[in-house]
A and B are shown apart, each in its own frame.
Chain A
Amino acid sequence: MTDQIKQDQTETPENVGGVHVGEARPAIPGMDQEGEKLSPDLATDDTIGARKSANAGENGSQVMHSRAERPWSFDVADFSVPNGREEEWRFTPIKKLAPLFEDAATDEVEGGPAVEVSFDGPESWLSGELASGQAPRDTVLRPADRAAVVGSANAPQATYVRIPENAEHEAPVAVRIEGKSASARSNSHVVIEAGENSHSTLVIEHTGSAIHNGNVEIIVGQGATLTVISLQRWQDDTLHVGQHDAEVGKDAHYKHISVTLGGDVVRLNSNVRFSDEGGNAQLFGLYFADAGQHLEHRSFVDHNAPRNTSNVLYKGALQGEKAHTVWVGDVLIQKAAEGTDSYEKNQNLVLTDGARADSVPNLEIETGIIEGAGHASTTGQLDDEHLWYLMARGIPEKQARRLVVRGFLYEIIQQIGDADLEDSLMEALEDELAISNN
């Protein structure tokens, strides 16, 4: 509370010399917040592939100077099973996830695959299946850890949704992934390609029980607007890992919203990079962890090309003993990415004792010629200033708390833009909040 009041006492100018300051932006873009690393001396020949060859297969034991050095590979042998000491696995309950590190095919349950993947949308958009290596599959997604590589290797056929050029589709279309058993391993791969100047929203809905390894790769064509909403509405016995990689084209708009309510252990990576200029990427997330749940979200915005913008906002609520959430947000502004404007933020609302939220923003900037770069992370209980404002208008404390908690969560739901889906998720959140009497 004291910090908040201090902020309020000094009137922060919103704009200095045309540059946003205050909470939204640092005064000198990218320079005044802790945590960023300036690495001007990185090798100029720094395509990700080149970095990969020097690092792959070392079991994550090397100290990496940059997110860009993270190895990726389609060869399972390049990633050994993690032991939990690796930087990218240190928050994760490795033992529980062990079945998802195995180089194993999808199990059968009652004569069918352990997950059923179905498509709900215009039939002509479903463009058959893509084998491993069959373009556009594997042109965007780069398996970056053991889980992603075994998922990729064991999904022989990818579901391919191709949104035609100039298509305008108001209602969301859906890829439904339904798990059949909490003891059966499954792998899936979904490729979404938004044609030039198309406008659409695609929901990937996960339900049922599963030990699921699901990769998603997304190509956003020139001038296209695509929203991908990944809903984790699993039963609470489910294990789920996934890597969602997107490449955003020239002047395209990409929004990825991850909503994780169910599952025992869920770990999702949402990554994005750019193929040209003028693109905009927004990565949003909302998670609600109950007692014993581990919900982990990692985002990586790779500003690999000039003049693109990005915004990352993940919000979480936690309640109950050993509710655990993790957010690790990497933003890399490469040397070539002049004119970048990027911001990332994570906020966690801790509703009861005994819960733990880890939050790690990483911002790396290799060029000073940018519009802005910033990050923020807050974890705590309800903001007293919010309660103060509402109560100062006569709203009783209990109701003010209800409004603020819902408002906190609703900020992400508002990004969905589909009333039915928003209502359904708010209902699910009400059920969650009822557990802790909020």
Chain B
Amino acid sequence: MSTLEIKDLHVSVILDDENTKPILKGVNLTIKSGEIHAIMGPNGSGKSTLASTIAGHPKYTVDSGEILLDGEDVTAMSVDERARAGLFLAMQYPVEIPGVTMSNFLRSAKTAVSGEAPALRTWTKDVKGAMNQLKIDPDFVSRNVNEGFSGGEKKRHEILQLELLQPKFGILDETDSGLDIDALQVVSEGVNRAHEANDLGVMLITHYTRILRYIKPDFVHVFVDGHVADQGGPELAERLEEEGYVGYLQGAKA
């Protein structure tokens, strides 16, 4: 059983050498293994900033507060250390890397997170199996990382990595954006498999309730203006679907 704890987190985005802008204004959130938390909120509320900050993107600076993984301060770790500690960010805009093949990349990542090179035979089988379930053409292993992939293909590959790297916590940053209904279903099934197989804790960041038909959250948090404005169970998502974020936005302005 692991715990990811975010305590009174204040974060700014680095605009240039001299200027920063505060985005997160005191976020409190605790996720335990096996729990699925949906983070919902309007555009610009800081949801993606939260995701990138947990993973350690250098564009964001933590002004105060803590991110603790099983009591250990994540903010003191480098990006790769965080990943090896069990955090995984499924990115909203996966990066294309010329000349680095998927197969080389996946094996390097697996070796890094598990501390030893995977046995070749079982690894090849695992990769093939996971790709098959995510309806990814086997030829993709010899293509360069994300290069020329469609939006949907990139998202499938993020979930492929989530399944193969078996982290403790998966942070899904708008994984549903830009997916058609079939792709959404395939991707959701992958998340659910990882959740069941590894007791994965999930932070599911989304603007829309659509994905919650396929991935059932235990908790829903409404994110407005850099903090959690409201939280509840799955019923909160249903209410948002009907009412939208308008009520919260008016509250934030007042």
Instruction: Using CB atoms and an 8 Å cutoff, list the residues of chain A in contact with chain B.
Output: 1-2, 5, 8-9, 11, 14, 384-386, 388-397, 399-400, 403-404, 406-411, 413-414
Contacts and interface: CB of A to CB of B under 8 A. Distances in A.
Contacts of B161: 393
B104 interface: yes
Given A11-B93, A388-B79, A394 B99 contact: no
A386 B146 CA distance: 11
B91 A389 contact: yes
B16 interface: yes
A389 B178 contact: no
Given A404-B100, A407-B98, A391 B79 contact: yes
Contacts of A14: 150-151
Given A389-B94, A407-B144, A396 B99 contact: no
> Interface SS of chain A: helix, strand, loop or mixed?
helix
A313 to B, nearest CB: 10
Contacts, number: 95
B167 to A, nearest CB: 9
B78 A397 contact: yes
Contacts of B207: none
A11 B178 contact: yes
Nearest to A407: B99
A242 to B, nearest CB: 27
25 contacts: A2-B16, A2-B59, A5-B59, A11-B93, A11-B177, A384-B58, A386-B97, A388-B58, A390-B97, A390-B100, A392-B55, A392-B56, A392-B80, A392-B82, A393-B88, A393-B113, A394-B83, A394-B84, A397-B78, A397-B80, A407-B97, A407-B100, A407-B144, A409-B99, A410-B99
Instruction: Indicate the member of A385, A407, A410, A413 with the most B CB atoms within 10 Å.
Output: A407
A394 B55 contact: no
Contact of A403 (B88, B89, B104): B104
Contacts of B80: 391-392, 394-397, 400
B113 A385 contact: no
B236 to A, nearest CB: 27
What interface size band does chain B fall in?
Answer: 35 or more
B99 A406 contact: yes
Nearest to A9: B93
Nearest to A2: B16
Residue of A14, A392, A400, A414 with most chain B CB atoms under a 10 A cut-off: A392
Contact of A391 (B78, B91, B98): B78
Given A392-B79, A395-B80, 19 more contacts: A2-B16, A2-B59, A11-B177, A386-B97, A388-B79, A389-B97, A390-B108, A392-B83, A393-B83, A394-B80, A396-B80, A396-B112, A397-B78, A403-B97, A403-B104, A403-B105, A407-B98, A409-B99, A410-B100
B165 A393 contact: yes
The list of the 6 closest CB pairs from A to B, nearest first, reads A407-B99, A410-B99, A394-B83, A407-B100, A394-B112, A393-B109
B95 interface: yes
B57 interface: yes
A408 B145 CA distance: 12
B98 A392 contact: no
B44 to A, nearest CB: 11
Contacts of B78: 391, 397
Interface string B77-121: 011101110001101011101111000110011001100000000
A397 B78 CA distance: 9
Contacts of A399: 108, 112
A411 B145 CA distance: 12
